[in-house]
Amino acid sequence: MLNDLKALCDAPNNVPGLVSFYGAYHVPESGQISIVLEYVDGGSLADVQAKVGKIPENVLSKMTAKILRALAYLHREKHMVHRDINGEPKITDFGISAFIDSTLAQCNTFLGTVTYMSPERINNQAYSFPADIWSLGLALVELATGRYPYDAGEGPLQLMIHVLQEDAPLPPAGEFSEEFRDFVRVSLQKDPHKRPMAEQLLTHPFITKYAADPVSLKAFMQCAFNPHDKLDEIAIVFAFNYYALLNAGVQRLRDLAPLYSPKSTMRYDGEMAVGRDAIIAKLQAVAQMHAGFRVVHEVVDVQCQPLGFDGSALVNVTGQLVSPAASNKPQPFTEVFVLSQIQAGEYYVANQCFRLIKQ
């Protein structure tokens, strides 16, 4: 967790291929630390591969360029080894990253995903930035061919033997360009000192060849995914985070303000509030009333359905108001949200209606 926070706090939000960091907060009641990151709505490249089978070479080139820029930043500016490049279009997981005190220092720990470990790591030798290049090269072979290049069915020990003893896997000749095959070849050198650095690979012909290619990563992702596929996930994340902030008390309610616009409306048990400020004021009044009885919102179920084709969604939450007082039975409620999409992955609450269910 500390590695996550250190890496993300220090990184600017405009590094291509590196997920943007918006902040972090601590919830004293639960002891949780939540990190707020850019929402990457396409999922992982593993998700994409599961849908399309193989990713075209020109698309992979543009994705790789983004990842290389992020790795170059981490290696050059932060002296940081990610250690687990395994098919993410943006680098997001810093919990398994290692900070290196100087450009000559090396890591001696054994962490990461076994299937993408470099030979020097498997041998438990000191390793540095080239370990990331090996992982990237291996992931590219898998994404291009649609299958992991080694036989992983015999367990991790046998897999490590394959990696150490077999020739590095290359994409089949005739099916892929020589530029791509050479990029993989240099990335999968067994000797880490022979692997190029991320900045050097940015000038490799596999990257420059497709720099002017008109293929759009956004268009490719839209072809690979139905935009409604993610709505259920978005609704669940939204609902649980919304009520977590609501339960955190009056002081935290201003954190909900960005969810609303000046035109947002909320009807709370028959009372109407219009606009961001009025809605937050209403929520603060409700929170103050609940605080005296230590009432919290407990989510029971979240249902979601798309509204048209603009990415908007109707989120229906059922739950109950719970108080520790033994005489107070849980009070069921239902709350409906209309989430309107500003841009991909960014929503605001256009309309909201809360209603207590009388028993």
Helices vs strands, H then E, count in the chain: 12, 10
CA 175 – CA 157 distance, rounded (Å)? 31
How would you label 190-208 residue by residue, b for 16+ Cβ within 10 Å and e otherwise? Answer: eebeebbbbeebbebebbe
- Name the DSSP class of 20: -
- How many residues comprise the chain? 359
From the list 285, 299, 294, the residue with the least C-alpha distance to 250 is 285
Phi-psi region of 11 (alpha: psi -120 to 50; beta: other; left: phi over 0): beta
Residues in a beta bridge with 24: 35
**301 catalytic per annotation:** no
Q: Are 99 and 80 in contact (CB under 8 A)?
A: yes
Set 4, 41, 47, 84: catalytic member = 84
Q: Are 20 and 38 in contact (CB under 8 A)?
A: yes
Residues in a beta bridge with 349: 260, 339
CA 43 – CA 358 distance, rounded (Å)? 41
From the list 289, 287, 259, the residue with the least C-alpha distance to 351 is 259
Which residues have a catalytic role annotated? 84
